[in-house]
Amino acid sequence: MAARRTHERDPIYKIKGLAKDMLDGVFDDLVEKNVLNGDELLKIGESASFILNKAENLVENFLEKTDMAGKIFAGHIANSQEQLSLQFSNDEDDGPQKICTPSSPSESKRKVEDDEMEVNAGLAHESHLMLTAPHGIQSSEVQDTLKLCPRDQFCKIKTERAKEIYPVMEKEGRTRLALIICNKKFDYLFDRDNADTDILNMQELLENLGYSVVLKENLTAQEMETELMQFAGRPEHQSSDSTFLVFMSHGILEGICGVKHRNKKPDVLHDDTIFKIFNNSNCRSLRNKPKILIMQACRGRYNGTIWVSTSKGIATADTDEERVLSCKWNNSITKAHVETDFIAFKSSTPHNISWKVGKTGSLFISKLIDCFKKYCWCYHLEEIFRKVQHSFEVPGELTQMPTIERVSMTRYFYLFPGN
């Protein structure tokens, strides 16, 4: 029977002691300089206790595994000092510094050359931590295959609800297109490891729904805009009934980050740019046809949860009154809305983070695909989106709430898989 470890020889005890001594000094200084107050310190203490308890279990598990696992784990701990020095090396910078563990010496040199390496407002929070997902996701069974819509049901809905739904073209002669843009490698931000899982799963889903998928990876904001314009001009849209635009990247409140994004020199594709490229004026081939935007990206640094809230938000909107009044009637043309038939489904609410869990991919994309496979044979698109939202309704440690935005769809959109 193995002897019980004493505190003096227990590596976990030593690590906890060192961490406690270091953090005590840090928090004393933060309180002394009025950076943190008592309530904030209490919240941090509760979070630190949770992490420490979980870390102890993790260390003990690794000690029982192979030497290689121990080396990998020890290597990440050894890099913590370097990461902290990177984060706090420049107090005058305009945003949080990038904390990274380079995969090679050459990569380390390239990524440390610029003292502005950073993550803007929560970009680092697209986490790989194996924490608890929302209860709706934990409890539901994953749908392995896409459930097809019976032909008789397709014909019935298409006939009886013809005035309420978007027209669906017959499979023969239909040329549906979908675009996936996924940024995985970044110059200044964390690389989005394991994003290939989301790509493969989303590509498979769209192809099973009858879309030919165009995949583009690792683009700047300008390159993304160029690809969108080229995609909008594809002749296949004339004989298509809809399109999907899928974006997977880091993000901020203002939009999707390109691969060169940093605080002092933003590289961001704004939502307005996307909608403008595909509006009724610039993309006539998709006029009166559903245009579905799926966006997997953080939108800020917060986790989207509260304990108590009594305040109410105030929203305002500005109108270009002069421009509105300058519009004149012209009997030779037909008036049309500039922007219709759009819907955007984003992985989180504004200002908040979006989670990615290890090799299984992002929570949002995983649940979205699962709901499509289960329900798109009988439900319209917006109802499917609501089912995705419902699965996130009860928060776990990993908390986010997917959000339906900028909806200008005038009818219901059914995908009718198999038809």
Q: The dihedral of CA 359, 364, 370, 372: what is its sign?
A: negative
Residue identified by tokens 């843009």 is 181
Instruction: Tell me how far apart the terminal alpha carbons of the chain are, to the nearest angstrom.
Output: 66
| Distinct helix (H) and strand (E) counts, the chain | 13, 9
pLDDT at 250: 94
Helix axes 363-375, 381-391, angle to 10 degrees: 130
Cα separation, 178 vs 384, whole angstroms: 19
What is the DSSP code (8-state) at residue 344?
Answer: E
Q: The dihedral of CA 375, 378, 384, 390: what is its sign?
A: negative
pLDDT at 53: 52
pLDDT at 295: 97
Mean pLDDT by 10 residues, the chain (419 residues): 50 61 65 66 63 51 48 49 38 38 38 43 41 49 86 95 96 97 96 93 98 98 99 98 98 96 95 97 97 94 56 36 39 74 95 79 94 98 98 82 96 97
3-class state of residue 153 by DSSP: helix
What is the widest separation between alpha-carbon atoms in the chain?
95
Q: Which of 100, 149, 182, 298 is catalytic?
A: 298
Cα separation, 269 vs 236, whole angstroms: 25
Query: Which tokens hold the place of 314?
Result: 């105030």
Q: Which of 125, 237, 250, 261 is catalytic?
A: 250
pLDDT at 36: 67
144 sits in the region (left: phi over 0; alpha: psi -120 to 50; else beta) called alpha
Q: How many CB atoms lie within 10 A of CB 351?
A: 15
Residue 250 a catalytic site member: yes
CA distances from 144 to 195, 262, 365 (A): 20, 39, 14
Query: Which tokens hold the place of 217?
Result: 């990876």
Query: Which tokens hold the place of 398?
Result: 């990993």
Q: Which domains does the chain have, with CATH numbers?
A: 12-125 (no CATH), 135-301+338-405 (3.40.50.1460)
Q: If residue 277 lies in a helix (H) or strand (E), which one and from where to where?
A: helix 271-277
